[in-house]
Amino acid sequence: MLQGIGALAGTMVLGAARRAFAAGSGGAIRAVASIKPIHSLLAGVMAGIGEPALLVQGHASPHSYSLKPSDAALLEEADLVFWVGEPVETFLERPLQALSGRAEVIELLETDGVSLLASRGGGLWEPHRHEGGAEAEADEAVEAEAHGHGLDGHIWLDPANAKAIVARMAGALALQDPAHASRYSDNAAALRARIDALDREMATWLAPVRDKPFIVFHDAYQYLEAHFGLNAMGSITVNPEQPPSAERLAQIQAKIAGTGAVCVFAEPQFSEALVRTATEGSTARSGTLDPEATDIPPGPDLYFVLMRNLARSLATCLMK
């Protein structure tokens, strides 16, 4: 009886993502997602059938996360594991290789229809570097990978990529759970339509600020910039796993002065003091962006809240 109430209460906590698969979950498929934006899309594809589990919870950043014993247990019990790939969830690379469970592991960086961008490195960029178009970018991405510079892993911030990811998820789920194939496919179609509407809404918000220069905290936004034609000039950190040096902050101050950056954007999990130092002596305003949704409760709506928040924060700070 007590157990029954506990299980019921557990299912009624809105916004809480699973930390363990229920004992005796019968034939239900056990799917795990690495980070919140990916978990959100997966939860949408699985709506009405099951709830995916999530590894990186709460305010944690995937760039500085380390695997917990409970995460390792989830991975061992899983049928399907979705992650972006080594550039984002560096902490998962070895555990996934060492997995002894039966899980099928799906690296979303390698998905048909997902366009990839090379990691920029350096943290100080030249404006409008996307003029070569999608084909030139794809060549650059392949070249960067070949030379070990790596790919930019923040693929979910391009709505077109999110649609390709949703299609891949539905296909993988249907193969493991054919009884629900048509439901996965219907859910995916509905999600793709919702993402199209989101894309149009964001484009309306962002069109008036396309040329306004800005600085971000870590280099997470390249896919958003490319898709909506935005004008980011650099990032405060080169590597989000390490705080910037004094020399680096001086370079950023010079970049802000030199480019007339309108806004400098912090992120919730990083120090606001760094942004204050970076904007010292300039007229640049400060805003906040949350590209990994650390401040948003997990669930199928998270992706849409995440993207709308980004568009609104950019538009509000850049338009003033």
List b or e across 215-247, with b for residues whose CB sees 16 or more CB atoms inside 10 angstroms: bbbbbbbbbbbbbbebbbbbbbbbebeeebeee
Q: Which of residues 219-238 bind Zn ion (CB under 5 A)?
A: 220
Instruction: Name the minimum Å distance from CB 219 to Zn ion.
Output: 8
* Cβ pair 56, 88 in contact under 8 A: no
Closer of 61 and 251 to Zn ion (Cβ): 61
Burial class (CB in 10 A: 0-12, 13-18, 19+), 186: middle
Closer of 49 and 305 to Zn ion (Cβ): 305
Helix axes 272-279, 246-259, angle to 10 degrees: 50
Instruction: Name the minimum Å distance from CB 267 to Zn ion.
Output: 9
Q: Which of residues 193-222 bind Zn ion (CB under 5 A)?
A: 220
What is the spatial distance between Cα 11 and Cα 7, in angstroms, rounded to a whole number?
A: 6
Instruction: Name the minimum Å distance from CB 208 to Zn ion.
Output: 26
Number of chain positions touching Zn ion (CB under 5 A)? 1
Instruction: Name the minimum Å distance from CB 310 to Zn ion.
Output: 13
Closer of 79 and 152 to Zn ion (Cβ): 152
What is the spatial distance between Cα 33 and Cα 17, in angstroms, rounded to a whole number?
A: 10
Instruction: Name the minimum Å distance from CB 154 to Zn ion.
Output: 6
From the list 161, 156, 186, 185, the residue with the least C-alpha distance to 172 is 185
What is the spatial distance between Cα 153 and Cα 109, in angstroms, rounded to a whole number?
A: 7
What is the spatial distance between Cα 65 and Cα 61, in angstroms, rounded to a whole number?
A: 6
Instruction: Name the minimum Å distance from CB 260 to Zn ion.
Output: 26
What is the spatial distance between Cα 239 and Cα 237, in angstroms, rounded to a whole number?
A: 5
* Cβ pair 115, 136 in contact under 8 A: no
Closer of 279 and 294 to Zn ion (Cβ): 294
Closer of 199 and 267 to Zn ion (Cβ): 267
Chain-centre distance for alpha carbon 307: 10
The DSSP symbol for 243 reads: P
Closer of 220 and 236 to Zn ion (Cβ): 220
Closer of 46 and 220 to Zn ion (Cβ): 220
Instruction: Name the minimum Å distance from CB 220 to Zn ion.
Output: 4
Site residues (vs Zn ion, CB under 5 A) = 220
